[in-house]
Structure 1
């Protein structure tokens, strides 16, 4: 979402087609701007981010099928190509993301240069003028990743974040700063190092003040950073011991913002819930805004108002505007209530541990599987949902699939196991070398606690997850006999094979998760533990998946068959790593429901 003199623009997924389109406000009414067959998406680092920015000329976007930049007319939506002309072979082998407006010049972006076979060769920070002229500002070495370009308001300075593979950006990254010549070129770039190695993210400017989130004191907290002599000075702006951002899987996130007059707006996370806070001046007392929402992204400020994409636990994501003068909140788009009755999340905390999550109780009047309206199962069956990443998190926001399960008579637990983001650096780093062990132990402890509390039926426990969450579900099925079955959506089954085929961004991630001693990887590879599976597994796989390739899922199912264990593989020919089409998502729910009901009928 971006806001400026040209208007309010945001990207929105069309669930029937899986296409992302550009929307805008037209006399206060939301309408799609880009053509129906025009898809917008960045694939930088495989996960994208920053596919939209706004200049005085209107919105710039990344076109999904080419990875190139185009400008859309702010009224008609007519696209005008900017990069990737047929006469420019270099641009044709490149793709872009992390877009930000470059005041008075054009756009800044991260560019990935690709080989003929599609492998990423390197990344660079580039400036792109309106006529398509491209200038490389910072060329990274083969192992370098760049992101978060942040020009000062007067255009005289540029800050950005850089990290070197095999590190992930939430492990260790560096803040860089350079002056800019009149031409826009960088002069004297230098690294501004915090007192200790850290992950830094989201540099931004408020006047001449450079601010950034850094976790060198244990949490992603906001700091003002000054270059002093050969070193730098880092001044903590908030002593609140909380993460003020989440793991930067995508570029161009914005969870904190400087305001005119020295004030600020920030998101902070508390046991998974995002809270929005405001201070109107540097010494003003902070106050909470929009407390009916539970997560916030893409903070923007324009003409006395704060804008954000806000989520809640009972309605769809909203584009909100908060008038800071009148202290009034307005939902500009979204925010629909798709269900007349919504199951609200209950905070879950694992006894004697920092592990937490959100528990959604089954609807009491539902036709419980294995029971009936007159004789429901008590306590109800439970589905433990494991988030992906695994360096990601579960948030208390409306998830229609979770609501489906509750309406079908299942309780659901969304768990933030050790290794999740949002609970500080130590908690996030705890999974180093212990993936497949530590988070599995947290899953087992969580369901055991719910059983003891009488909130889950001990013979009706299931586990499901996507990608890394699918891996954890499979490892749990191989390591314990409490689950009656598992559902894996494009879950990792063979880390060694994944490592050989994964993209550049995650090329060293598995070494961090499983340890550099690869001789030990087989003992934490589900495909090698098929003989230990304690129940059947239902697999869902996209045939276009380039992260967890279809052959990996089929090999796991074949290994289970050889070991005498039941499994089923459901494939989607037009899906990749993540199911974007409404028909695919509905099919996953229908087939999973039948799978769980069959398992309960058999016990």
Structure 2
């Protein structure tokens, strides 16, 4: 028998990062598949990997290159393929490069006047490969968010014609895509205070080609609309992921029916029709560029992923409009690509880490010829060690129902102490417009295999449950999210599945804010862990980057008109409410939540005498990418809980105790 929290487990922090690779985008061209891998053991850089036919996979980029863009700070869409050429943005200088075959990378964009002043993302290639249409985010010297300009620019791959702006004016643009016959260009645009999940516009323009490249004529909005009212009133239409079909029609995802479903624009009739209507989410919030949740198969078929009750599924729309489910053993899908009857995607399940998977799909919907192109790690673990998520729903404030994924403590080699209930970790995802991911994550199993219960809460405002659910957080950040996280913990305690005296809360970024707010304003939780969390909402509103510089208008209220709410809901201004232990983990190069936010709250708790631990990480931005820092963050948090709750750390792991002041 062993006390919950002290269970010995092979899922150590070293295993969490060993040979780990975060699989990102996928590209499929004929028998060649290219994908990206974020590698913590290589300093957190992103490598591109190519596999052709049955040949072994090969790395495409030299070891000093990192395919990562800083556009919107969150990035995504940092690379794309045209024939034999791969275009990618290098993290160091943010310039766009081209790689053909085994040749070294060649810069496509000029060196900016300001280091990293021109950032590129989300491009496509047209007219035989000469012209590259791409999003540029321009940062003038010493600029603040108001001076940053986002545009669609055309680049000449031969270098003969200087870069030229095609679309400018909106605060943000994305997804420039040229129709198969080259006659039209589509793109998405939106402006403050909207975020892309509030309201975007899908635009189409006629394209005329000349020696200087494309010029646009008759630009028009064919779908989407800005969110209505100051700060957003929930009446907008969020459109994403435009894709041209071979017949010249334009498909896209829209939430005009409350759910992010599939639609089609016919240039002949200039009409929009719904092609897939399900009470589930096909789309995702556009935090990053380049997400792909549907793709075209041969014979007028479309393959797509959708999320229902927190779990992903894969399906196919037939040419006659019927939808059939595809029998594949995964609960999470990303980066779906297709060619002919072949589908390639990143898939994961409750017991399998993400893998790059290839399948063949018959016209009947039968799935054949499954091949794992990039397998998950061989962890060498008994699958009985893995806690499998349960989709739960529970009552919350104002008669609402909230949702979560619950992971019970699981370890076949340990018997719990008689009569003891496990401590609970309430996970708060970032965003806050994001969602819990229904897939094997060793960072979660690290806790459940030690005897912690974990609940990953999809509080009101999360995606995956329709626009109305997403809009529950309108002007209610710091209220609805707290209510739902408390409700999840209390409901599980009432069900006698967790120890009501050992309820903990942890989260990163926006989840870190909810963690801090829960400790400042509520008394449900016995301890908390804030990973690069927001302590001062006013500072966030005035110091953050362009993409999120007006985000809080919709989450709280317009600043400075509603400065009272910013002060009222900022944990830093309510130190008197803190009386529970807290650990704070922070990257020192974070541009989204600057380190001073963490340091302010830590200093305040020190002065008040509240138990507090602070771990800062050199060289880390918003989220930890380096293996040594990921390990340190996990082990430091575990040692913090061990000291707070008085259980013994497993022998043999040699976990250093994090200093906890005032304990």
TM-score by length of 1: 0.93
Residue 55 of structure 1 deviates from its aligned partner by 0.5
1:288 matched to 2:325: yes
Match for residue 275 of structure 2?
Answer: 237
Q: Deviations over 1:66-117 (max 9, x none)?
A: 111111133x2621111124xx749973110112233524322100111112
Verify the 8 A CA contact 1:270 1:423 in the aligned structure 2. yes
Alpha-carbon distance between aligned partners in 2 of 1:583 and 1:526, rounded to the nearest angstrom: 30
Task: Classify 1:574/1:515 alpha carbon distance in 2 versus 1 (closer, same or farther; 3 Å).
Answer: same
Task: Classify 1:140/1:182 alpha carbon distance in 2 versus 1 (closer, same or farther; 3 Å).
Answer: closer
Match for residue 40 of structure 1?
Answer: 67
Residue 312 of structure 1 deviates from its aligned partner by 1.9
Alpha-carbon distance between aligned partners in 1 of 2:537 and 2:263, rounded to the nearest angstrom: 37
Alpha-carbon distance between aligned partners in 2 of 1:548 and 1:239, rounded to the nearest angstrom: 38
Structure 1, unaligned stretches of length 5 or more?
A: 368-372
User: Greater shift after overlay, 519-528 or 29-38?
Assistant: 29-38
Q: Report matched runs for 1:170-249 at 5 Å.
A: 170-183=197-210, 184-194=214-224, 197-207=236-246, 208-226=248-266, 232-249=270-287
Task: Classify 1:101/1:288 alpha carbon distance in 2 versus 1 (closer, same or farther; 3 Å).
Answer: farther
Alpha-carbon distance between aligned partners in 2 of 1:498 and 1:380, rounded to the nearest angstrom: 36
1:568 matched to 2:568: no
Residue 8 of structure 1 deviates from its aligned partner by 1.4
Query: Helix, strand or coil: the match of 2:148?
Result: strand
Residue 307 of structure 1 deviates from its aligned partner by 1.2
Query: Helix, strand or coil: the match of 2:512?
Result: helix
1:331 matched to 2:372: yes
Task: Classify 1:531/1:376 alpha carbon distance in 2 versus 1 (closer, same or farther; 3 Å).
Answer: farther
Alpha-carbon distance between aligned partners in 2 of 1:319 and 1:227, rounded to the nearest angstrom: 35
Alpha-carbon distance between aligned partners in 1 of 2:61 and 2:419, rounded to the nearest angstrom: 49
Verify the 8 A CA contact 1:366 1:408 in the aligned structure 2. no
Which one of 281, 290, 293 corresponds to residue 252 of structure 1?
290
Query: Helix, strand or coil: the match of 2:209?
Result: coil
Residue 482 of structure 1 deviates from its aligned partner by 2.2
Match for residue 652 of structure 2?
Answer: none
Task: Classify 1:270/1:598 alpha carbon distance in 2 versus 1 (closer, same or farther; 3 Å).
Answer: same
Verify the 8 A CA contact 1:174 1:191 in the aligned structure 2. yes
Q: Report matched runs for 1:231-380 at 5 Å.
A: 232-283=270-321, 285-325=322-362, 327-338=368-379, 339-341=381-383, 342-351=386-395, 353-364=400-411, 375=417, 378-380=420-422
User: Greater shift after overlay, 261-270 or 219-228?
Assistant: 219-228
Task: Classify 1:364/1:246 alpha carbon distance in 2 versus 1 (closer, same or farther; 3 Å).
Answer: same
Query: Helix, strand or coil: the match of 2:276?
Result: coil
Aligned residues: 591
Which one of 106, 109, 122 corresponds to residue 98 of structure 1?
122
Task: Classify 1:134/1:220 alpha carbon distance in 2 versus 1 (closer, same or farther; 3 Å).
Answer: farther
Alpha-carbon distance between aligned partners in 2 of 1:282 and 1:327, rounded to the nearest angstrom: 22
Query: Helix, strand or coil: the match of 1:499?
Result: helix
Residue 481 of structure 1 deviates from its aligned partner by 1.9
User: Greater shift after overlay, 258-267 or 568-577?
Assistant: 258-267
Task: Classify 1:266/1:93 alpha carbon distance in 2 versus 1 (closer, same or farther; 3 Å).
Answer: same
Match for residue 136 of structure 1?
Answer: 164
Residue 314 of structure 1 deviates from its aligned partner by 1.5
Task: Classify 1:569/1:91 alpha carbon distance in 2 versus 1 (closer, same or farther; 3 Å).
Answer: closer
Q: Deviations over 1:426-482 (max 9, x none)?
A: 111110111001110001111111011111111111000000001001111122222
Residue 501 of structure 1 deviates from its aligned partner by 1.0
Verify the 8 A CA contact 2:154 2:166 in the aligned structure 1. no
Structure 2, unaligned stretches of length 5 or more?
A: 1-25, 226-234, 648-662
Residue 297 of structure 1 deviates from its aligned partner by 1.7
Question: Which protein, 1 or 2, shows the higher relative CO under an 8 Å CA cutoff with sep ≥ 6?
Answer: 2
Q: Deviations over 1:508-544 (max 9, x none)?
A: 0012111121222111001011210130110001111
Match for residue 436 of structure 1?
Answer: 478
Query: Helix, strand or coil: the match of 1:247?
Result: coil
Query: Helix, strand or coil: the match of 1:464?
Result: strand
1:52 matched to 2:93: no
Query: Helix, strand or coil: the match of 1:181?
Result: strand
Match for residue 589 of structure 2?
Answer: 544
Query: Helix, strand or coil: the match of 2:501?
Result: coil
Task: Classify 1:353/1:328 alpha carbon distance in 2 versus 1 (closer, same or farther; 3 Å).
Answer: farther
Alpha-carbon distance between aligned partners in 1 of 2:402 and 2:332, rounded to the nearest angstrom: 19
Residue 308 of structure 1 deviates from its aligned partner by 1.1
Which one of 392, 413, 419 corresponds to residue 455 of structure 2?
413
Q: Deviations over 1:264-315 (max 9, x none)?
A: 11111101212111134234x4222253111222221224311112222222
Which one of 503, 506, 512 corresponds to residue 548 of structure 2?
506
Task: Classify 1:376/1:478 alpha carbon distance in 2 versus 1 (closer, same or farther; 3 Å).
Answer: farther
Alpha-carbon distance between aligned partners in 2 of 1:348 and 1:101, rounded to the nearest angstrom: 45
Q: Deviations over 1:332-385 (max 9, x none)?
A: 113234232322111121147442121111125576xxxxx5626622111000
Query: Helix, strand or coil: the match of 1:505?
Result: coil
Query: Helix, strand or coil: the match of 2:256?
Result: coil
Match for residue 370 of structure 1?
Answer: none
Alpha-carbon distance between aligned partners in 2 of 1:435 and 1:13, rounded to the nearest angstrom: 31
User: Greater shift after overlay, 214-223 or 274-283?
Assistant: 274-283
Match for residue 81 of structure 1?
Answer: 107
Alpha-carbon distance between aligned partners in 2 of 1:174 and 1:562, rounded to the nearest angstrom: 50
Alpha-carbon distance between aligned partners in 2 of 1:457 and 1:290, rounded to the nearest angstrom: 39
Verify the 8 A CA contact 1:128 1:134 in the aligned structure 2. yes
Report the RMSD for the aligned CA atoms in angstroms. 2.2
Alpha-carbon distance between aligned partners in 2 of 1:217 and 1:579, rounded to the nearest angstrom: 37
